[in-house]
Amino acid sequence: MVVELGHFALILAFVVAIVQMTLPLVGAWKGWRGWMAVAEPAATVQFFLLTYAFAALTYAFVTSDFSVRLVVANSHTLKPMLYKITGVWGNHEGSMLLWCLILAFFGALAAWFGGNLPDTLRARVLAVQASVGVAFLAFLIFTSNPFLRLANPPLDGRDLNPLLQDPGLAFHPPFLYVGYVGLSMAFSFAIAALIEGRVDAAWGRWVRPWTLLAWLNLTVGIALGSWWAYYELGWGGFWFWDPVENASFMPWLIAAALLHSAIVVEKREALKAWTILLAIFAFGFSLLGAFIVRSGVLTSVHAFANDPERGTYLLAITVLFVGGALTLYALRAGAMQAKGVFGLVSRESALVANNVLLAVACFVVFIGTIWPLIAEMIWDRKLSVGPPFFDAAFTPFMVALAILLPIGSILPWKRAKMERVMKPLWIALAVAFAVAALVWVAQTGRTLMAPIGALLGVWLVMGAMADLWTRTGRGGVGDKLRRVTRLPRADLGRVIAHAGFGITIFGIAALLAWEVEDIRVAQVGETYDVAGYAVTLEDVRDVQGPNYLSTMADIRMVRGDTDVLLSPEKRIYPVAGMPTTEAAIANGVFRDLYVVIGDPQEGGGFAVRTYIKPFANWIWAGCIIMAIGGIFSLTDRRFRVAAGARKAPVAGVPAE
Amino acid sequence: MIRALLLWLAMAGAALAVQPDEILDDPVLEERARALSSDLRCLVCRNESIDESNAELARDLRLLVRERLVEGDTDDEVMEFIVARYGEYVLLSPPATGSTLILWFAGPAALLLGAGLAFAYARGRKSAPADSALSEAEEARVREILDD
C-alpha cells in the first residue's frame, strides 16, 4: 500500500512540476501576479510529494518488500540495516529518484528563502528548475521506475553489491548529488536572468549561495569517493581519472570558477556574460556526467548501468537543456553590459586568470575523457586515455593556480601596484622555499614532486595567513587577532578554503612521492622489516560475518613507540558470489599504515602487502577544510540578512 | 549483463595486482617493470592498468613485461613489443602521433586562446569609459535641478 502511494506521489509530483514549469513563466511574461504566485506552493508540494515517494521506497527496502523489483535486485534480508537504507540509492532507479528529490528540494529552498528576489525573477527561476524536474521525472517514470512490481515475489533478494556495503560509499552519493543537482539552481538563475534580459550585481549576490552550497557538497562527495577507493580497492590508490570520476570533477572545476566570477559580478558588475555561460556549463557538465555514468558509452570502473535506451534519453535531455540555454545565451547575451573598469593588475584580472585556468583545466579533462569516443568515431582508432595523460596535462594548471592564488587573494579591486601587494607575501614565499629546501634535503635522492608539493602547500597556507593579516587592519598582532573574529564570514571562508587547497596539494604530493610498498609471501609467525617497522603475520583465521565469510589475518607492526595490530580480511559474500578485500589501516596524522592479506600460497604462507602512506589523510582533511571554508562563506551576513526578508509593510503616516 | 558487471567490479574490489612470485630479483628492473605496467591497460578490465588489476590477462602481461626487461630490452622496446601484439589500445597514454596530436595540443592551445581572450578583455576594461548612466537631456535636467 505504502509503495503504491509512493508511486502515485511520484506521478503527482510530475504533474505538479509541469504546472510549476508553465504557469509562472506565462505569469512572469504577462505580468499576472496570480500565475506567478503558483510557483512557490507548487515547489513546496512537489518537494513534499517526492519526499514521500522516497520515504516509501526506503520503507520498501527497510521492510525487505520483495514484491518491488528494485528491492529484489538490490537487497537481502540478512543485509545490515544501514545498508538496507543506503541501498535505496545504490542503484540506478533509486539514485535517479534521489536526484529528482534533490532537484525539488532546491526548488523548494528557493521558494522558501527567495523572498528578496523580484517576483518575476523568482517565478522564472522556479519555472526553469521545474522544467529540469519535468525532464528527469519523465525519465524516471517512463524508463527507470523504481516502483515496478513483481507478480510473484521471491523469498529473498539478490543482495546489494558487496562493494557498496560500506559506510564511505553509502554516503558518497547523497553528497555528490546535492552538489551536481544543486548546480541546477545556478543554471535556473542564469536562464531566468537571460529571459529577464538583466544581469546585475544583485543577481551575482543571489546566485552565489546556491553555487556555494552545491560546490561544498560536491567537494565532500568527491573526497568521500576518493577516500573510499583508497581504503577499499586494496592498494591505496585514490584517484584514477576514471570517466565517472572525471564526470564529477568537471562540474567541480566549473563551479569553482563560477564561485569566483560571481564575485566579480557582485562587486564590480563585470564578467556578466562569462558568469552566465559558466552557470550554464556547470549544470551542463552535471547532465553530461549523468549521461556518461548511466549510459555505458565510456568504459569505466563505476558504470552503474549499461542501457543504451536510457543513455539516449539522458543525452537528449543534456542536448535539450544545454542547447536551449546556449541558444538563449546567443540571443540575449548582448543585452548585458559590463560596468566595472579595472586595470591589468587588479583583483578582477586575477579572478579572470583563475577562471581561465580552471576552465581550460576542465576542458583538458573533458577532452581527455571523451577522446576515445571521438577517435573511434572519426578516425576508427581504438585507443585509451588514462592517468598518464591526465597527470601530465592537468597538473600544470593546478600548479599555476596555486602559484597565483595567494597573490590574487590579496590584490585590491580595480588597480594595484605589485610592490605593495607583495609586501606581506615575501615572508610567505621565503618560508615556502625554506620548507621546500628542507624537504629536498631530508628526502634522499628522490623526485622533485615532494619539494614542489611542499613549496606550493606552504605558499598557499602562508598566503592565506597573509590574506588574513592584511584584512585585519593596522596595529599589532593582538589587535589583529581580536579583529579576526569580527571579520565578515566570507573573508574567513576564503582564507580557510584556500588553506585547505594547499593542504590537499601537499598531501597528494607527499603521498605520491614518499609512499613505501612491500609485497611478499609471509609465513604465519614470520617477522620482516618495512621502512623501519617490524611487521609480523601473527595469525590467519576464518570469521563469519552477517552476510559474508571472511579470512582474517592478524598483523602487528612495531616501530619505536608505535605498536598496532591490524586485521585485514578477504571476504566472500555468498549471495552475490563476490569476493572483496578489506584492507586494514592504522590511521595517523602523519602516516597511514596499510596492510592487505592475499591468497594462501603453495608452500604455506600468504601474500601480504604492506604500505606506509605518509600524509594520506591530509588529502581528505584538506577537502573537508575547503568545504568548511565554503560553509563559512555561505553563512556570511550579507546572505542571511537578505534571505527571507519579506518587505516590511510600510505603516501609513497620518496626514498632519 | 549485470552479472558481468558485478563480476568485473568484483575483480576491481579484490585487486591484489602484483603477486609476490612475479617480482623480479633485480630491484632496478622491477622498478622499471612497475613503471611500464602502470602505463599499460588491462584489456579485459574496465579502465585499469595491468599494475592495478588482478585479472589473469593482466598477470600474463605483467610477466611478459618482466620477461622482456630481463632479456635486456629498453623501455621503448618493451612498449613497442606489446603494442605490436595488442594494438595501441593497450597504451594508457595515447602516443602523440597523427590525430592524437590534437588531444595533446588541445590543452596548451586552449590555454593560449583563453589567456589571449582574457588579456584582450582586461585591456578593454582598463580603458572602458566609466559610463555615464544619464543621457544628455537627463544631464541637462540634473544641472537644472541642482541650480535651483
Task: Encode pLDDT of B79-98 as tens digits.
Answer: 999 999 988 888 888 888 88
Q: Which of B9, B18, B99 sits opposite A161 (nearest CB)?
A: B9
Q: Which of A161, A392, A519 sits opposite B6 (nearest CB)?
A: A161
DSSP A604: S
Residues 6+ apart with CB under 8 A from A96: A136, A139, A140, A144, A146
Q: Are A548 and A574 a contacting pair, CB within 8 Å?
A: yes
Amino acid at B8: W
- In the stretch 549-608 of chain A, residues with CB closer than 8 A to chain B read 570, 576, 578-581, 596, 598-599, 601, 607
Output the pLDDT for position B15.
Answer: 45
The reply to whether A645 touches chain B by the CB within 8 Å rule is: no
The reply to whether B121 touches chain A by the CB within 8 Å rule is: yes
Judge: B89–A355 Cβ closer than 8 Å, yes or no.
Answer: no
Q: Are A342 and B125 a contacting pair, CB within 8 Å?
A: yes
Cross-strand partners of A365: none
Least confident of A46-50, A165-169, B49-53: A165-169
- Give pLDDT tens digits for A197-253: 888 888 888 888 999 999 999 999 999 999 988 988 877 889 989 888 999 999 999
Alpha carbons A162 and A79: distance in angstroms, whole number: 10
Least confident of A67-81, A637-651, B128-142: A637-651
Output the pLDDT for position A301.
Answer: 62
The reply to whether A398 touches chain B by the CB within 8 Å rule is: no
Q: Are B96 and B107 a contacting pair, CB within 8 Å?
A: no
> What confidence tier does A299 reach under pLDDT thresholds 50, 70, 90?
low
Output the pLDDT for position B99.
Answer: 84
Alpha carbons A379 and A372: distance in angstroms, whole number: 10
Least confident of A2-6, B36-40, B43-47, B118-122: B43-47
Q: Which of A300, A363, A368 sits opposite B110 (nearest CB)?
A: A363
Give the distance from residue A346's alpha carbon to the nearest chain B alpha carbon, in angstroms.
Answer: 10
Instruction: Assess whether pLDDT exceeds 90 at residue A505.
Output: yes
Distances in Å between the Cα of A470 and the Cα atoms of A232, A412, A505, B13 are 44, 11, 24, 49
Average pLDDT, chain A: 89
Judge: B18–A519 Cβ closer than 8 Å, yes or no.
Answer: yes
Instruction: Assess whether pLDDT exceeds 60 at residue B41.
Output: yes
Q: Which of A299, A340, A375 sits opposite B125 (nearest CB)?
A: A340
Q: Are B67 and B30 a contacting pair, CB within 8 Å?
A: no
Residues A285-308 have a mean pLDDT of: 76
The reply to whether B15 touches chain A by the CB within 8 Å rule is: yes
* Chain B residues near residue A161 by CB distance under 8 angstroms: 6, 9
Amino acid at A213: L
Residue with cell 606550493: A456
> What confidence tier does A497 reach under pLDDT thresholds 50, 70, 90?
very high
> What confidence tier does B8 reach under pLDDT thresholds 50, 70, 90?
very low
* Chain B residues near residue A392 by CB distance under 8 angstroms: 93
Residues A276-293 have a mean pLDDT of: 92
* Chain A residues near residue B10 by CB distance under 8 angstroms: 163, 578-580
**A16's grid cell:** 505538479
Give the distance from residue A387's alpha carbon to the nearest chain B alpha carbon, in angstroms.
Answer: 7
Which residue of A lies nearest to B114 if distances are taken between CA atoms? A356
Half-sphere exposure at residue A362, Cβ-oriented, CA atoms within 13 angstroms: 26
Judge: B122–A352 Cβ closer than 8 Å, yes or no.
Answer: yes
Average pLDDT, chain B: 81
- In the stretch 210-269 of chain A, residues with CB closer than 8 A to chain B read 232-235, 237, 240, 242-243
Output the pLDDT for position A206.
Answer: 87
* Chain A residues near residue B9 by CB distance under 8 angstroms: 161, 163, 301, 578
Which residue of A lies nearest to B107 if distances are taken between CA atoms? A364
Q: Which of B13, B17, B18 sits opposite A232 (nearest CB)?
A: B13
> What confidence tier does B13 reach under pLDDT thresholds 50, 70, 90?
very low
The reply to whether B85 touches chain A by the CB within 8 Å rule is: no
C-beta atoms surrounding A411 within 10 Å:
21
C-beta atoms surrounding B117 within 10 Å:
13
Alpha carbons A521 and A609: distance in angstroms, whole number: 9
Residues 6+ apart with CB under 8 A from B78: B36, B65, B68, B69
> DSSP labels for A618-645?
HHHHHHHHHHHHHHHHHT-HHHHHHTT-
Least confident of A28-37, A386-395, A567-576: A567-576
> DSSP labels for B87-142?
-GGGBSS--SSTTHHHHHHHHHHHHHHHHHHHHHHHHHHHT------S-HHHHHHH
Alpha carbons B55 and B61: distance in angstroms, whole number: 10
Output the pLDDT for position A227.
Answer: 92
Residues B1-24 have a mean pLDDT of: 55
Q: What percent of chain A has pLDDT over 90?
A: 54
The reply to whether A379 touches chain B by the CB within 8 Å rule is: yes
Strands (E) across A80-204 are located at none
Interface test with A, best of B93, B105, B112 (most A CBs within 10 A): B93
- Give pLDDT tens digits for A311-366: 889 999 999 999 999 999 999 888 777 777 888 888 989 999 999 999 999 999 99
Q: Are A16 and A42 a contacting pair, CB within 8 Å?
A: yes
Q: Which helix (H) or strand (E) holds A141?
A: helix A119-143
The reply to whether B91 touches chain A by the CB within 8 Å rule is: yes
Judge: A375–B122 Cβ closer than 8 Å, yes or no.
Answer: no
Amino acid at A54: F
**A92's grid cell:** 540506478
Instruction: Assess whether pLDDT exceeds 60 at residue A569.
Output: yes
Output the pLDDT for position A649.
Answer: 55
Output the pLDDT for position A298.
Answer: 75
DSSP B71: T
- Give pLDDT tens digits for A478-487: 888 888 888 8
Q: Which of B17, B39, B131 sits opposite A339 (nearest CB)?
A: B131
Sign of CA dihedral A343, A261, A503, A583: negative
* Chain B residues near residue A309 by CB distance under 8 angstroms: none
